[in-house]
A and B are shown apart, each in its own frame.
Chain A
Amino acid sequence: MGFFLETLFGGLMAGMLYSLVALGFVLIFKASGVFNFAQGAMVLFAALAMARFSEWVPHWLGLQSKFLANTIAFALAAACMFVLAWAVERLVLRHLVNQEGVTLLMATLGITYFLDGLGQTLFGSDIYPIDVGMPKDPLLLFENTFPGGIMVNQEDLIATVVAALLVSLLSLFFQKTSTGRALRAVADDHQAAQSIGIPLARIWVIVWCVAGITALVAGVIWGSKLGVQFSLATVALRALPVIILGGLTSVPGAIIGGLIIGVGEKLSEVYLGPFVGGGIEIWFAYVLALVFLLFRPQGLFGEKIIDRV
């Protein structure tokens, strides 16, 4: 029982981290209809920037305070993400107004390649630590209820809180503000949005910037757990089942989807894995998402797919 709970918690926390990455996908998709393949690369790029700046800043400025250094590094990394958002709009999206989904998807792929190259050129290909002072050692709860207690990572707990905060903020933004509404309009029809005076350029910079910051937050949390390296981009693949399960267009869906996938993944690996040789969690997550899709083709909370004649 204790172990089951532990696995469950582990799954929930892992799921929360996926959610953070998934959130970036959802934001951009919801607000511009672009399936942003580059989200993984953005997480990596942001995390790399953060890791290296937090290393360089004390060096440049002769700072002692770790906290100050991290804050400045975060600001600089955020600035990088803003520049990126601006460049993406200027150089890519602007020229692809009103094109089909696959074309845009492909363009974000180009961006992925570019970021992979650029990130490693600027920041290097090594493994870099991000140390924002997250506690690494496990916390044992209920030691007297269960033998050995239930182990929880403090790091994960913090990540969960951050993710939950971010999500609530973003949901509010989408539902309550007129910009939020405009974003959804753009996703439906670029041209019509243009025709009534929604400035696509600004909208896209905003969205990519917000997605960039989300990527940065995700990157910092993942990075401080795992260290920052090229492979971080592959967490994007872990986030994909999350978004289709939750629905491509739903911010809360990203969270719920993340939790379901996280738990499903860990429980399956721990309880079913040993019977079939292990290593099943990744496909299990996808199959789980697929099963949900068979019942709700738009994901749990996604907007209904409209086909009408």
Chain B
Amino acid sequence: QQTKEQYLPALVYRTGPYAPNGIPWANGYADYMKLTNARGGINGVKVLVEECETAYATDRGVECYERLKGKNGGATLIQPLATGITFALTEKAPIDKIPLLTVGYGRSESQDGGVFKWNFPIGGTYWVAADVLLQQIGKKEGGLDKLKGKKITLVYLDSPYGKEPIPLLTERAAMLGFQFNALPVTAPGVEQKSTWLQIRQQRPDYVLLWGYGIMNSTSLKEAQATGYPREKMYGAWWSGAEPDVKDVGMGAKGYNAAAMQHGAEPGSAVVKEILDKIHANGQGTGPKEEVGQVMYMRGVVSAMYAVEAVRAAQERFGKGKVITSEQARWGLENLNLTQAKLDALGFKGVLKPVSTSCFDHMGGNWARIHTWDGSKWQFSSDWLQADEQILKPLVKSVADKYAAEKKITRRSAADCQS
């Protein structure tokens, strides 16, 4: 019995400064895993989930990782759920041979599977998010070339997470000729008066918001207090969920944020299924009302990638078997989620196809923009695709620098077969 379970632990934070965002994510992740089991497991193999609380702190995250990695026959993969923890685990995972699934966060350059064999930022990186936001702003202005001479200010959490988009934005600024300015906010971001005073002084045309947790709602409140139009504010996809705007309410109306492919999807098939099969039986993890909200969906999507990776691995290493973490890595590297597959899983309209490869650990660079209407998030753009022309060289150069530092040689094509 024991051995028949696929162990998929998750590092989560249901406490601490970032709990409002962490809780729905963890609920979504847990619920989808329950759904998977309700659906009969992965080709009959049930999944076993275990949470470990990190409170978004790196050292606790590392401890959790160490604790969970060897349990129940070994962790199949790990979701660090924090950029800081991802950085630390990036050094450890290759030794333990455990893949890190970092859906929409972590190191942007880890898209490069040639160097980052064990990192999987499936579905999008911060660079994708930043690029997509610029494209949308360009659209608003009537073309990217119209950005020339405009002022765009980034308000970011002063942490590796917040700094991630800067290289891309700097690059884009040079290319498109807009004036780029970055204002750091000291964590956790409850005091932003001077930041917004500066914004009031500089009067940028657009503000990009790269905050997390309470920093987002604080930014929106300060924007309201300084009279900066929320319509001109664009947030990253970690700045665009319900907890970020809920208690600002109408004060945040008009605020835009990237949706990481998915947004709030209360109407999607998978949500309905979760409500039917899990919550209806009283087995739901969180409050019913939050099912289908943005962070919840991100948990669901992350879980789905994990499950599908296992499924993909089973295709190769034996259906109905419990697979190892190394096999899971292969699965993650060879995901091919076509629209048909996604639709079948209940993600119709939620996701675009994702297909990873040995060298591309991201697998998809689509996103949409959604806008807060005062009570809920609503899509306000079409699908947008990040510009590979810009992303690719950036990823490669940063990854190469990392490889040089760590004396890692790029994986060969042969290595990809393993």
Contact = CB atoms under 8 A, between A and B. Distances in A.
Interface string B180-217: 00111110111101110110110000000000011001
Interface residues of A, number: 39
Given A120-B15, A151-B200, 14 more contacts: A10-B194, A129-B249, A138-B227, A226-B218, A227-B214, A227-B248, A229-B17, A229-B19, A230-B17, A230-B19, A231-B17, A232-B190, A235-B190, A281-B194
Nearest to B184: A279
A281 B214 CA distance: 19
Contacts of A138: 225-227
24 contacts: A7-B197, A125-B14, A125-B20, A125-B23, A127-B214, A127-B217, A227-B217, A227-B247, A229-B213, A229-B214, A231-B213, A231-B214, A234-B17, A234-B188, A235-B190, A265-B194, A269-B194, A270-B201, A273-B194, A277-B184, A278-B182, A279-B158, A279-B184, A279-B186
B197 A10 contact: yes
A225 B246 CA distance: 14
B184 to A, nearest CB: 4
B226 A151 contact: yes
Contacts of A281: 186, 191, 194
B298 interface: no
A282 interface: yes
A274 B225 CA distance: 22
A126 B197 contact: no
A137 B15 CA distance: 32
B16 A230 contact: yes
The CB with the most chain A CB atoms within 10 A, among B158, B193, B246, is that of: B193
Interface in B201-251: 201, 213-214, 217-218, 221, 224-227, 243, 246-249, 251
A225 to B, nearest CB: 7
Contacts of A14: 191, 193
A268 to B, nearest CB: 8
Contacts, number: 110
A279 B214 contact: no
Contacts of A142: none
The CB with the most chain A CB atoms within 10 A, among B20, B23, B201, is that of: B20
Contact of B225 (A136, A231, A235, A277): A136
Interface residues of B, number: 39
Interface in A230-278: 230-232, 234-235, 238, 265-266, 269-270, 273-274, 277-278
B189 to A, nearest CB: 8
A114 interface: no
Given A137-B227, A231-B213, A266 B193 contact: yes
A136 B221 contact: yes
Contact of B221 (A3, A225, A278): A225
B201 A3 contact: yes
Contacts of B186: 279, 281-282
Top-10 shortest CB links A-B: A269-B194, A125-B19, A129-B247, A279-B184, A231-B188, A231-B17, A227-B247, A231-B214, A126-B20, A266-B194
A3 B221 CA distance: 20
Contacts of B191: 14, 235, 238, 281
A71 interface: no
Given A226-B217, A226-B221, A229-B214, A270 B194 contact: yes
Contacts of B17: 229-231, 234
A273 B183 CA distance: 9
A153 interface: yes
A128 interface: yes
A155 interface: yes
Contacts of A229: 17, 19-20, 213-214
The CB with the most chain A CB atoms within 10 A, among B15, B194, B224, B248, is that of: B194
Interface string A167-197: 0000000000000000000000000000000
Contacts of B246: 127
Given A120-B15, A277-B184, A279-B185, A151 B217 contact: no
B15 A125 contact: yes
B200 A6 contact: yes
A13 to B, nearest CB: 8
Contacts of B247: 127-129, 227
A10 B192 CA distance: 11
A137 B23 contact: no
B188 A151 contact: no
A51 to B, nearest CB: 9
Nearest to B246: A127
Nearest to A126: B20
Nearest to B198: A270
A279 B159 CA distance: 11
Interface string A279-297: 1011000000000000000
B194 A127 contact: no
Nearest to B250: A136
B191 to A, nearest CB: 6
A256 to B, nearest CB: 19
B251 A278 contact: no
B214 A6 contact: no
Given A126-B243, A238-B191, A153 B225 contact: yes
Given A126-B243, A151-B227, A226 B197 contact: no
A230 B189 CA distance: 12
B342 to A, nearest CB: 31
B224 A270 contact: no
Nearest to B19: A125
Contacts of B225: 136-138, 153, 155
A7 to B, nearest CB: 5
A158 to B, nearest CB: 13
B236 to A, nearest CB: 18
A137 B251 CA distance: 9
A134 to B, nearest CB: 11
Contacts of A274: 198
A229 to B, nearest CB: 5
A138 B200 CA distance: 12
A277 B185 CA distance: 11
A291 B412 CA distance: 59
Nearest to A140: B227
